[in-house]
Structure 1
Amino acid sequence: MQNVTFYFDVSCPFCWQTSRWMKEVEQVRDVAVDWVPMSLAVLNDGRDLPADYMKMMEANWGPARVFAKVKAEAPEKIDELYTVMGEMVHPGGEGGKQGYGAYDEVIAAALEKVGLPANYAEVANTEDADDLLRGFHARAMEAVGDDVGTPVVQLGDTAFFGPVITRVPRGEEAGELFDASVKLASFPYFFELKRSRTEGPQVQES
């Protein structure tokens, strides 16, 4: 069995595409995936960025804090919650919100749908879960380095930013991409491949 640690931020559409690929991989390969929150809001905290982007980062604190609390207290629900909230944010069109508290309704609806207590949402607009969130985020950065975004995927002992994909491969094609990723991760001197993107995430209903 291949152990995979998948560090995610629910707000990121590229992360969402990669996560749906990993859900496909679970169907065709012998893998054990540990879903762990990280945070673009933490990553960009204190950086000098455009005002509109910073407003999006303000909004992103809420869901990330909730995921940190759920991961700590009800980890068996983290995968389901990511899927449910991610479907609302991405194919459901609820992403790209701006300002603190912007995702409060999304958070409440997702918690209810997966059967988690509504009081998990209370941490979204406080700093009560920030130490937890920063701790999970630090694990991702320690694994991959700090010159990255989301997702971070750790394959055994090696972590990468990505793979960054715009479309979700299905079935055996998903397995083949996973096999290739594991193979690259087996070379300790391999670090990156990159090319300019020519399309954005092609998000579809699950």
Structure 2
Amino acid sequence: MTTRVEFWFDPSCPWAWMASRWVDTVAAQRDLDVSWKIMSLAILNEDKEVSPEYRAFFPRAMRLTRLVAGVKEEYGSAYVKPLYDALGTRIHPQSRKDWNAIIVESVVEAGLQEEAARLADTEDYDFQLRESHFDGINRVGEDVGTPVISVNGTAFFGPVISPAPTGEEALKLWDGVVAVADYEGFFEIKRTRTADPIF
């Protein structure tokens, strides 16, 4: 049977990136129907007390989420995942910091014209961005981050993993996630994170 998966991500989040690589590995071996959706760490934390360093990250993060939201609205959902892959590769494993170059290169790699990069700097699709964000967050509650994943209609925050498992390990983790998602009374498993992202 096909497993319906919805995956909400912020391109800036290394934990969402790791989980997305894992879902890609599983999707290559299992029958998954994955919908890739945008959420925003800046929106999630806009009314919260956060450190000045973290708040300084929000404008850059908003450019990337606005870009994805705008591309979805103007060009279609089919471009969301290729754009995420292009952005994420440059931001996370490559550790690049030239955001203008990252944005332009990523839209081109995703199959769009360079002019699509302008969508990073417009608020025209903020309503749709917030709608997508809160669609994910309202399924899991406010005390979470990214990614948010829904499996056959049951949504949860995470998993937070490092490094992304491959091969049989990826499938074993996936089977565990599906098992807990299938249990209506399941809400939370958590332990303190002791590792940084390993790309």
Determine helix, strand or coil for the equivalent of 1:28. Answer: coil
In 2, Cα distance between the equivalents of 1:118 and 1:110? 9
Determine helix, strand or coil for the equivalent of 2:184. Answer: coil
| CA deviation after TM superposition for structure 1 residue 83, in Å | 0.9
CA deviation map 1:37-57 (0-9, x unaligned):
111011111322211111111
| Residue equivalent to 1:50 | 51
140-149 vs 10-19, greater mean Cα deviation: 140-149
112-121 vs 16-25, greater mean Cα deviation: 112-121
| CA deviation after TM superposition for structure 1 residue 105, in Å | 2.1
TM-score under structure 1 length normalisation: 0.91
In 2, Cα distance between the equivalents of 1:21 and 1:65? 25
Q: Which runs of 4+ in 1 moved over 6 A?
A: none
Matches within 5 A, 1:41-120: 41-72=42-73, 73-94=75-96, 103-120=99-116
CA deviation map 1:110-138 (0-9, x unaligned):
01122212232223223112111101101
| Residue identity opposite 1:162 in structure 2 | G
**Do the aligned partners of 1:154 and 1:160 also contact (CA within 8 Å) in 2?**
yes
In 2, Cα distance between the equivalents of 1:119 and 1:138? 28
**Do the aligned partners of 2:10 and 2:41 also contact (CA within 8 Å) in 1?**
yes
**Do the aligned partners of 1:62 and 1:104 also contact (CA within 8 Å) in 2?**
no
In 2, Cα distance between the equivalents of 1:129 and 1:187? 36
Unaligned runs of 5+ residues in structure 2 are: none
| Residue identity opposite 2:100 in structure 1 | D
| Residue identity opposite 1:166 in structure 2 | S
Unaligned runs of 5+ residues in structure 1 are: 96-101
Matched residues, number: 197
Determine helix, strand or coil for the equivalent of 2:50. Answer: coil
| Residue equivalent to 2:25 | 24
**Are 1:177 and 2:179 counterparts?**
no
**Do the aligned partners of 1:37 and 1:71 also contact (CA within 8 Å) in 2?**
no
In 2, Cα distance between the equivalents of 1:180 and 1:162? 13
| CA deviation after TM superposition for structure 1 residue 155, in Å | 0.3
**Do the aligned partners of 1:28 and 1:171 also contact (CA within 8 Å) in 2?**
no
Q: Choose which of 130, 135, 149 in structure 1 pairs with 2:131.
A: 135
| Residue identity opposite 1:3 in structure 2 | R
In 2, Cα distance between the equivalents of 1:37 and 1:117? 21
**Do the aligned partners of 2:4 and 2:153 also contact (CA within 8 Å) in 1?**
no
| Residue identity opposite 1:159 in structure 2 | A
CA deviation map 1:154-206 (0-9, x unaligned):
00111010011011111222111111101001111111111111111101xxx
State the Cα RMSD in Å: 1.3
| Residue identity opposite 1:194 in structure 2 | K
| Residue equivalent to 2:164 | 168
